[in-house]
Amino acid sequence: MGNSDTGKKILVMHGPNLNTLGTREPEIYGSKTLDEINDDLKKQGKKLGIDVETFQSNHEGDIVDKIQASVGNIDAFIINPAAYTHTSIAIRDAVLLLEVPVIEIHLSNIYKREPFRHKSMVADVATGQIAGFGVSGYRMALDAAVDLMAS
């Protein structure tokens, strides 16, 4: 599937406004940029022999299209749906097409924030969820995805 040592590929998807990380509300989201996060994930993947592809969009349809295009082409899926977490049935339905481990990630703990952020449309179709650990959560998600792929 991928062109890594193991032939395994993980898609890491970032939702709306995550392209502004590093400047957007750093007290909540930290100071690392999305490019820095993606670079770290790709380096970690390389060490593990896993091909890590990253994708970000502010547009729901682009996210759905990318998920649909990945069916049969990835071995695990990590998604931070961002604001679409709470609203997108379309993304949830697209995730249902995947027959691979799915990990939902959030930089902040969505359950300690405004009440409208407490509901995730993706949580019940994900294998697991990581929230509240900042950028470390992405590394946790990648490690978990690799573990799940091996089992």
Partners of 103 in the β-ladder: 78, 128
Euclidean distance between CA atoms 14 and 79, whole angstroms: 6
For residue 11, give the H/E element and its range.
strand 8-14
Catalytic positions, please? 29, 106
Using alpha carbons, list the distances in angstroms from residue 50 to 4, 38, 78. 5, 14, 14
